[in-house]
Amino acid sequence: MTTKLTKNYFLINYRERWGLSVFGWIFLIFIILLSSFLGIRNLYAILSPVQREKTDILVLEGFISDYVLYDAIKEFKNNRYKLLIATGTPLEYGGLLAPYRNTAMIAGKSLIKLGFDSTKLIIISTDEIRNDRTYNSAIVLKRWIRANRPDIKAVNLMTMSVHGGRSKLLFKAALGDSIRVGIISIPNFYYGPQNWWRSSKGFRETMNEAIGYFYVRYFFKPYESELSK
Amino acid sequence: MNLNYRNNSLDGTHKVLNYTYIRMLLALLFAGWICFFIPSYGQQGYEIKFKINGLKDTTCMIGNYYSNGTYIKDTLKVDGSGRCVFKAPADYPRGLYLFVITEKNYFDFVINNDHKFSIETDRNDPVRKMVIKDSPDNELFYQYIKFNGAKYEQIQQWQDKIKNAVEKKDSLDIYNKRIDEISKEMIAFKLAIAKNNPSSFTALLINAMKEPEIPEIPLLQNGRKDSTFAYRYFKAHFWDDVDFTDDRLIRTPVFYNKLKKYYDNVLIQIPDTIIRELDAMVEKARSNPEMFKYLIWFTTYRYETSEIMGFDKIFVHIVDKYYVTGQTTWVDKTVNENVIKRANKIRPLLIGCKAPNMIMQDTSLNLVSMHNIQAKYLMLLFWDPDCGHCEQEMPKIKEFYDKNKENPGLEILAICSDTSLVKMKNSIKKKKMNWINVNGPRTLTGDYHAQYDIISTPVIYLLNEQKEIIAKRIPSDKIGLFLENYIKHPAKP
């Protein structure tokens, strides 16, 4: 039988303690690796959810790639939406040369070029070019809804792949409890849930979005909706 | 140990003093102990025991009313005999709370002066089967609720009789008279409760729901009745029995509705009137931080998002008076900054302000300065060639323009948001836009989106001869009526 050895000195003391053995460390590392592996496997699904709400309003984030525009038109037709709202922020670069200086305008005008009915389209842009661009787009959307369509109780938000999780959180934060937010994340053309870690673009974007998602989920302060609490 | 120094002393004076000191010290300690523990005994936490017959081994929730909503605060584990206990610290916010069995099955209870009490009821009929012990506040509340419930049932029966009546008018009169009598009984009962139990929570609720009764209208010197007396009396006495320093009101379902009614229906809908009343109300609540905060929130949120034209002036006033001066200490720094930023953005666009100048290229690439346009009334029309809603609005605007161009002298400055001049020209031709057309992106005066807070199209601003904003974000079908009214009463846009 062993006894605990404790020695007290004036400023310090000596105590026995339990610690991990070599096998203990191996087991712990195995558990950490396993949970990290499972987490990373599900990361894509967390970051690019598809959860539709029952609504006839489709919101499209303006920064999306061109091929998503076709998905937006298909989504609009197949699910009998009545209005498509394109949101966006000013271009970060090239705006002085480009015919349209805002991503909402680019997405909206591109839809019209693809034959989309302009009477069913609203382009809402913000001039906010600093931080929190997605959030600011959502704030402007909220302002437009309040002024023009206060009857809207839910929207479905269409966006690009791994940005979906973060977009949903930010739109929910901005629109508050009175408007439900569904999310439709369109898979990226270049990578998907099964192979995102195999390309530099996929890995980089997914990891960036994972950090962004974590930040928004735990640290982001939705400053406008805080007023409405 | 012998504390009796006097007995052991040869020269007792010093020791006697010491002994007196010890006695005094002990007395002080005892007094301190009493002072410390007696109030803390009085401030013991809340312990509310629930027994819900028909419930077992489940989870229920405790919620509270706040403003115009209800919020879940805690969950309670109900044991096999339907019992559970809700414990909360002594400083738990007082107000009207909910015991939630299911989403549609819940009952109210009061958290106020009674700290330890029990509530027993049945899940199938919680209000009628309610038995309360050791809480006069809750007993009174349920006395009031049950009385009201019984009387409403009686009224319902009489109303059913009226609905199905085939009898003569005399019978209907009797039924209506009976309903009036029951209503009077309810009012009398309510007032009696408030009068006999002035410090109860139920009295607080009743007083908050009460509306002033207009006395007989006095006669003016000319012998006629004072036509504004009723309104003035109603407004002056609307808050008679409400204490703005009592934050329990926020945690009831009645205060928000009363505030809303006051701002929507009682006050004359003029920004300056509302600002004056709002400041006075906030001042009354200043000594209670919770009420102060609530009223600032209520008014900020309400007027930041008001659909009524010109009410953004109230929002700007609130921001300048309370946010800029640092009185909103509870608001996060970023929120504060953003609120101020928003106010600064809309400040130059308030009704009555001179509209910011825009210098843009027209279809011939000549520069047009908005401030140099000579017109009695100038409409700023922000539009886009691809905007379906602009397409729908344009014929109405064209008709209005052709009708009002000469008299009263309307001009339109249409600001196109598309960068393509070809597209713009084609659209102008197609829509027969025979007014001044400029291209928004071809500007010398900065981004018009930021200048005029434009987030979508179409948007209309109306300016007078001095280029002051007299209307904004007005639908095209309302401009005619507005202008007609403005010409008649130019001082009151």
What digits encode the pLDDT tens for the residues B308-330? 889 999 999 999 999 999 999 98
Per-residue pLDDT at A175 = 92
One-character DSSP codes across B190-245: HHHHHHH-TTSHHHHHHHHH--PPP-PPPB-TTSSB-TTHHHHHHHHTTTTT--TT
Domain ranges of chain B: 5-42, 46-134, 146-209, 229-257+264-349, 359-488
Q: What is the dotted CATH code of the domain comprising A46-187+197-228?
A: 3.40.50.620
Residue B26, helix vs strand vs coil:
helix
Q: Looking at the predicted structure, is the pLDDT value of residue B275 above 60?
A: yes
Q: B71 - beta bridge partners?
A: B64
Which tokens is B153 given?
């049932």
| Average pLDDT of the residues in A34-57 | 92
pLDDT in tens, A107-150: 999 999 999 999 999 999 887 766 788 998 999 999 899 888 98
- Alpha helices of A97-199 — where are they, by DSSP H? 103-113, 133-148, 164-175
Determine the average pLDDT of the residues in B412-433: 94
Question: Residue B162: what pLDDT?
Answer: 84
**Of the candidates A149, A174, A36, A28, which has an alpha carbon nearest to the alpha carbon of residue A84?**
A149
| Chain Cα centroid distance, residue B226 | 32
Given a cut of 50, whether residue A229 has pLDDT beyond it is no
Report d(CA B66, CA B96) in Å as an integer.
9
Residue-averaged pLDDT of chain B: 89
State the best of A82, A116, A120, A123 to mutate against chain B, taking most chain B CBs within 10 Å. Answer: A123
Those residues of chain B whose CB sits closer than 8 Å to some CB in chain A are 297, 300-301, 304-305, 307, 331-332, 334-335, 338-339, 384, 386-389, 391-392, 417-420, 441, 447, 449-450, 455-457, 473
Chain A hits for B456, CB-CB cut-off 8 Å, are 122-125, 144
Residue of A nearest to B304 (CA): A143
* Residues A166-225 pLDDT 10s: 999 999 999 988 899 999 999 988 888 888 888 999 999 999 999 999 999 998 877 654
pLDDT band at A15 (very low <50, low <70, confident <90, very high): confident
Q: Is the pLDDT of residue B391 over 50?
A: yes
Tokens of A38: 């499972």
CA B312 from centre of chain = 16
Q: What is the pTM of this model?
A: 0.80
Beta strands (DSSP E) in chain A are: 6-8, 13-15, 50-51, 57-61, 83-88, 121-125, 154-160, 180-186
Q: Which of A149-158, B33-42, B111-120 has the lowest mean pLDDT?
A: B33-42
Q: Does the model's ipTM exceed the 0.90 cut?
A: no
**Are A125 and B447 within 8 A, CB to CB?**
no
In degrees, rounded to 5, the angle at the alpha carbon of residue B197 between the alpha carbons of residues B193 and B202 is 65
Query: Does CATH number 3.40.50.170 belong to domain B46-134?
Result: no
Handedness of CA A204, A205, A211, A212 (dihedral sign): positive
- Per the CB < 8 A criterion, the answer to whether B282 and B245 are in contact is no
Q: Which two tokens stand for residue B123?
A: 């899940």
For residue B9, pLDDT over 70 is answered with no
Alpha carbon distance B114, B130 (integer Å): 17
Specify the pLDDT at position A223.
63
Interchain proximity A118–B304, CB inside 8 Å:
no
> Cβ–Cβ of B419/A228 closer than 8 Å?
no
3-class DSSP state of B462: strand
| Contact assessment for residue B402 and residue B435, using Cβ atoms and an 8 Å cutoff | no
CB contact under 8 A, A226 and B335: yes
CATH architecture entry for B359-488: 3-Layer(aba) Sandwich (3.40)
Q: Which residues contact B199 (CB under 8 A, 6 or more apart)?
A: B113
| Closest CB from B297, B335, B392 relative to A223 | B335
Q: Cα distance from B349 to chain A (closest Cα, Å)?
A: 16
Per-domain boundaries in chain A: 46-187+197-228
Closest chain B residue to the Cα of A121, Cα to Cα: B388
C-beta neighbour count of B355 within 10 angstroms? 23
pLDDT value at B3 more than 50: no
